[in-house]
Structure 1
Amino acid sequence: MNDFSSVPTTVKAQENNTVLLPCYLNTASNDGAFVTAVRWYKDEDLIVDSADEQVPLPEGHMLWENGSLEIFRVKPNDTGVYICEIIRPEPWSPIKQRHAIEVLHPPSVEPFPPNGFLQVKLGEEVRMSCKGSGVPYPIITWTTKGEEIKLLNHRELLKFTASDRQMAGIYECKAVNGVGEPATDQIELNIIYPPELMTSRSWIHSAPGLRVQLECKISADPQATVTWTKGDIPVPLDSRVQSLVDGDKYTLLIRNVQRSDFGIYTCKAINELGQGELQIQLSGVPNPGVFKKTEDKNLNSKNSYTLIWEVDSYTPIIEYNLWFQPYKPKTGLSKPDWTKLTIPTEHSSGPVYSKSYTIRGLKEKTIYEALLVSRNRYGWSKPSPILRFATVGADLTEEIITPVQHHSQDNIIPLDLSSTSPKTSAVSFLMFIMGIINCYFSY
């Protein structure tokens, strides 16, 4: 039988409320036993002893004759576990009953780092935290860039690897416990990293007398020191050649281009975390040609096909080399069967040179592929994107007639075949053929 008439209870109280913790015996089960003393403990510390005047009642506390404890205007520090102990004479032993008070109060958070700013290197571990407090204990959530971070549980500690500099930004923690308003705080994460370089054009076509801009976009933290070199020599700056900066865009401006300006330029950026570089080629050779889709079906027959192309060149085009072969799907390692046609240019005021050419003697109902290179006084262009076309009767699909660009073609740089030396011309021509073969096998 239970010795207490009171029952264990947990009281959830708003701040400044009054709380009564009961503690009285069941007279029937105690058979008239006398109560020698009543003691109250808070979190195992004695706070009240009815038989000992040396233990004064804390301020705002009152002990009733039946042993109950009343606390006026509770504060957050009154939260805790309270034990009521009743002392009885022999042969009865002391008995205890457990109660608890939870003084409800709104949540709060304490961020770490305390100043709300954290800086790490790219690739390092990030550790930030928001220590929550409040009754009941709050739930902690994190958001960044307007989106909640999905975590397996509501953690005070946020830990991850700064694998991408886009992870930098404001991280907000929020504590919610259903009492009052949520508490929030912010930590700004800054990720420092070595220079990263980009350019919209790594190959620029020009001609003597023109004006060009070589642009290099640089991202770095800390800010990078930027230099321009041609070969291994810093670019000499003067009124004609100038280095300009606009935010993260670094520009090498060349006025009145001279033939000696042609070559490979390197944009170099360095900060305390590392360095990066990017190459931009300034050249007088033509831009790669572009095949135009043939809309007029009357131009083509079962044994012929008319190709139309355009080439951008500030310097007059001297000639074209048109390469074509039957299209071979990606089956096995069939050898290439390229045929080369040398096609003279036509007079044009430039800088756009257009040309059409009809290839005759083709096979019926056959799919072909072609590419084009062109030459001006400065040399041969890079190859055009490969064009797939078909003679009348072949199964034409959008995929077949669309120009196909292969990344490996960037490695095909036809050499200048205009040399008057037969030996040099033959070697150059062989190297060009090998480039075409490598291109073919790459896809």
Structure 2
Amino acid sequence: ATNDLQGVCMFSIVHLCSWSRLRQEDFPPRIVEHPSDLIVSKGEPATLNCKAEGRPAPTVEWYKDGERVETDRDNPRSHRMLLPSGSLFFLRIVHGRRSKPDDGSYVCVARNYLGQAVSHNASLEVAILRDDFRQNPVDVMVAVGEPAVLECQPPRGHPEPTISWRKDGANLDDRDERITIRSGKLMITNTRKSDAGKYICVGTNMVGERESEVAELTVLERPTFVKRPSSVVVLAEETVQFHCVVQGDPVPTVRWRKDDSDLPKGRFEILEDHTLTVRQVTSQDEGSYTCVVENMVGKSEASATLTVHSQYNPDPHMKWGPTLPLSLSYLHCNSIHQYSM
């Protein structure tokens, strides 16, 4: 009996020592991977990572805003799944008034019999992008060379939407040094005719994009002369034309003035191409003629002078004697010829 008792004692001591050695190898949980902040679109899947170590292996639970999170281990119909690693997986992000939203502040808690470890806080935010622009761009009208500014404020959203612009359906190339996009404003310096078109402001975040109403940029052109009137010298009774060819947007009006006054009525003819015609000119027609062109963005003028010489009429009473030297007669006729030229 004594020997049996000694054997039991020896077995108990060895077993106790072995159990104590195993228990000494256990350690409390520690978090080796903390969850990170997330911004997720409504209805999209998401994962909050958490990984813990410990011996024995710790159990992991999640808390949102201080309340324990229900997962598929509590309710098989839950859209939240607790993964073997300890991470929390959302089949879809729920956000709205009808159901308890998923956005909030999360922590994971790892436990074993030696204690517990709590992760850092991680926020889960639901991305949104409203439909209505806070400010839609409006039509703008400028002249060539002037700056143009189109303003836009995108819909409210989280994250804050970025802004880009499209012209005539194509993305605007903001690498052009004349183009600057800042705080929703599209600024174009030294505008050109090619800048005219239909512009749309686009607000974008991870939810998607929204397009503003269409705004039209109209680039007008001041009147410029393609062909200016030229000064002329003519003989009386001849016909004179002064040409004036212009361009501009909108199409400029064209009118003529003589010596800073309106043309006398009935004396002059203006053709469809704005050419001024003066028939059977006299010395009274001499003077300065000015082509005045004008549209809503500018006005220009170009002038030319008309000089009229009288025709040479020989005196009908002049007598030509037979004794007039031939050389003198030749020179006299030649001088008349040169004057007529």
Report SS of the residue matched to 1:260.
helix
Q: Choose which of 188, 192, 208 in structure 2 pairs with 1:160.
A: 188
Deviations 1:43-81 (A, max 9, x none): xxx6x94369xxxxxxx9723356624143889xxxx99
Report SS of the residue matched to 1:96.
coil
After superposition, the Cα gap between the structure-2 partners of 1:130 and 1:88, relative to the gap in structure 1 and judged at 3 Å, is: same
1:114 aligns with 2:137: yes
Q: Choose which of 176, 185, 190 in structure 1 pairs with 2:218.
A: 190
Residues of 2 paired with 1:166 and 1:20: CA distance?
Answer: 49
1:62 aligns with 2:79: yes
Q: Decide which moves more: 273-282 or 80-89.
A: 80-89
Aligned to 2:26: none
1:85 aligns with 2:107: yes
Q: Choose which of 69, 84, 92 in structure 2 pairs with 1:72.
A: 92
Report SS of the residue matched to 1:3.
strand
Letter in 1 for 2:63: V
RMSD of aligned C-alpha atoms?
5.8
1:235 aligns with 2:263: yes
Aligned to 2:239: 211
Report SS of the residue matched to 1:236.
coil
1:265, distance to aligned residue in structure 2 (A): 0.6
Report SS of the residue matched to 1:202.
coil
After superposition, the Cα gap between the structure-2 partners of 1:94 and 1:10, relative to the gap in structure 1 and judged at 3 Å, is: closer
Residues of 2 paired with 1:346 and 1:92: CA distance?
Answer: 126
Contact 2:34 2:119 (8 Å CA) reproduced: no
Report SS of the residue matched to 2:175.
coil
1:3, distance to aligned residue in structure 2 (A): 0.7
Residues of 2 paired with 1:273 and 1:149: CA distance?
Answer: 28
Contact 1:142 1:149 (8 Å CA) reproduced: no
Residues of 1 paired with 2:58 and 2:293: CA distance?
Answer: 93
Letter in 2 for 1:120: V
**TM-score where L is the length of structure 1:** 0.42
Q: Choose which of 149, 159, 164 in structure 2 pairs with 1:127.
A: 149
Letter in 2 for 1:50: R
Contact 1:139 1:154 (8 Å CA) reproduced: no
Residues of 2 paired with 1:111 and 1:190: CA distance?
Answer: 24
Contact 2:60 2:108 (8 Å CA) reproduced: no
Residues of 2 paired with 1:96 and 1:217: CA distance?
Answer: 78
Letter in 1 for 2:276: L
1:236, distance to aligned residue in structure 2 (A): 1.2
Q: Choose which of 274, 283, 286 in structure 2 pairs with 1:250.
A: 274
Residues of 2 paired with 1:274 and 1:174: CA distance?
Answer: 31
After superposition, the Cα gap between the structure-2 partners of 1:198 and 1:111, relative to the gap in structure 1 and judged at 3 Å, is: farther
Letter in 2 for 1:258: T
Residues of 2 paired with 1:154 and 1:280: CA distance?
Answer: 45
**TM-score where L is the length of structure 2:** 0.51
Aligned to 2:285: 261
After superposition, the Cα gap between the structure-2 partners of 1:181 and 1:50, relative to the gap in structure 1 and judged at 3 Å, is: closer
1:169 aligns with 2:196: yes
1:26 aligns with 2:57: no
Residues of 1 paired with 2:133 and 2:60: CA distance?
Answer: 51
Deviations 1:330-350 (A, max 9, x none): xxxxxxxxxxxxxx96887xx
After superposition, the Cα gap between the structure-2 partners of 1:273 and 1:169, relative to the gap in structure 1 and judged at 3 Å, is: closer
After superposition, the Cα gap between the structure-2 partners of 1:269 and 1:21, relative to the gap in structure 1 and judged at 3 Å, is: same
After superposition, the Cα gap between the structure-2 partners of 1:34 and 1:63, relative to the gap in structure 1 and judged at 3 Å, is: closer
Contact 1:284 1:315 (8 Å CA) reproduced: no
Letter in 1 for 2:186: L
Residues of 1 paired with 2:134 and 2:306: CA distance?
Answer: 53
Structure 1: 5+ residue stretches without partners: 40-45, 53-59, 286-313, 317-343, 349-374, 379-443
Contact 2:200 2:214 (8 Å CA) reproduced: yes
Residues of 2 paired with 1:168 and 1:51: CA distance?
Answer: 56
Letter in 1 for 2:270: S
Aligned to 1:392: none
* Larger RCO, structure (CA 8 Å, separation 6 or more): 2
